Amino acid sequence: MFVGENPIHIEANADIAEVVLMPGDPLRAKYIAENFLEDAKLVTSIRNMFGYTGYYKDTKVTVMGSGMGMPSAGIYVFELIHYFHVKKILRIGTCGAVSKEALIGEIILASEVYSESNFAYTYNGYDKHVVKSSESLNKAIMDVANVKNLRLHVGMMTTMDVFGPYVDCDKILGRIPKEYTILGEEMEAFGLVHVANSNNCEATAMATVVDSKFSDVVLTPEMREKNLNDMILLGLEAIIK
């Protein structure tokens, strides 16, 4: 494996904290930095993938975009761990609900993630289709959610190589082994967790439900912002524990 002396996709001299919140959208990283962190500074912007470092309740935190899909997320997760020695990574994203249990606007926390992708096999020969999130990080999230009285669905998510609403999602879900109960689908969590697990870093993923195969509800911009803010604060409180 070729690994250069310096990262390719993150500024080599970037000031990166040991704990990272990772939204997919770099502009959401900017939003979080400007609205939730103190003394936040832009520390990397290669390819317009923004990373900011600041403080939340006196704890140094980095918020870094991952882009869309496992290949993009995997690059940033690896560089954060290998070059900057990050200890915890928490994905905060959006997803589509594929279970009636999770309603639009609610949060899903991945205890495990399933994917039929060959991402993990290509990465390092891992031939299973399920990865487990960090139990300690998940416990911290559940404890904070309980204190804040936030409804949190904990269970398995699935990561797909395609954007769910644009394909026959039911056909894909139908191929998943029946013993797995999937709560939501998205595009990054499996890759993020697998790369972190393979490099001794704690990682998990949670996502706010923004669409559902069981509902025609469309969140207004105001509702979307409020629900995403709940998840952001949940993530920040948990990752500094």
**Range in 137-141, 154-158, 162-166, 178-182 with the lowest mean pLDDT:** 162-166
Asked if residue 80 has pLDDT above 80, the reply is: yes
Count the neighbouring beta carbons within 10 Å of the beta carbon of residue 102.
25
Residue 218, pLDDT score: 74
Q: How far is CA 88 from CA 116, 128, 178, 215, in A?
A: 25, 23, 32, 34
Residue 233, pLDDT score: 96
Q: Is 139 left (phi over 0), alpha (psi -120 to 50) or beta?
A: alpha
| DSSP H helices in 87-215 | 119-124, 135-148, 169-174, 189-198
Could you tell me the two tokens for 69?
């899909």
Q: How far apart are CA 147 and CA 173, in angstroms?
A: 34
**CB-based contact 133:193 (threshold 8 Å):** yes
Crossing angle of the two packed helices 26-36 and 221-239, in degrees rounded to 10 = 70
**83-138 tens-digit pLDDT:** 999 999 999 999 999 999 999 999 999 999 999 999 999 999 999 999 999 999 99
Residue 220, pLDDT score: 75
Count the neighbouring beta carbons within 10 Å of the beta carbon of residue 161.
17
Residue 4, pLDDT score: 84
Average pLDDT over residues 16-42: 97
Q: Is 161 a catalytic residue?
A: no
Residue 1, pLDDT score: 65
**CB-based contact 80:64 (threshold 8 Å):** yes
Residue 238, pLDDT score: 97
**CB-based contact 78:199 (threshold 8 Å):** yes
- Which DSSP letter does residue 103 get? P
Residue 223, pLDDT score: 75
**185-208 tens-digit pLDDT:** 999 999 999 999 999 999 999 999
Asked if residue 166 has pLDDT above 70, the reply is: yes
Average pLDDT over residues 171-178: 94
Asked if residue 226 has pLDDT above 80, the reply is: no
Residue among 58, 168, 211, 230 flagged as catalytic: 211
**Range in 1-15, 30-44, 61-75, 125-139 with the lowest mean pLDDT:** 1-15
Residue ranges covered by each domain of the chain: 19-239
Overall fold of domain 19-239: Rossmann fold (3.40.50)
Q: What pTM value is reported for the model? A: 0.95
For the chain, give the percent of residues with pLDDT over 90. 88
Residue 145, pLDDT score: 97
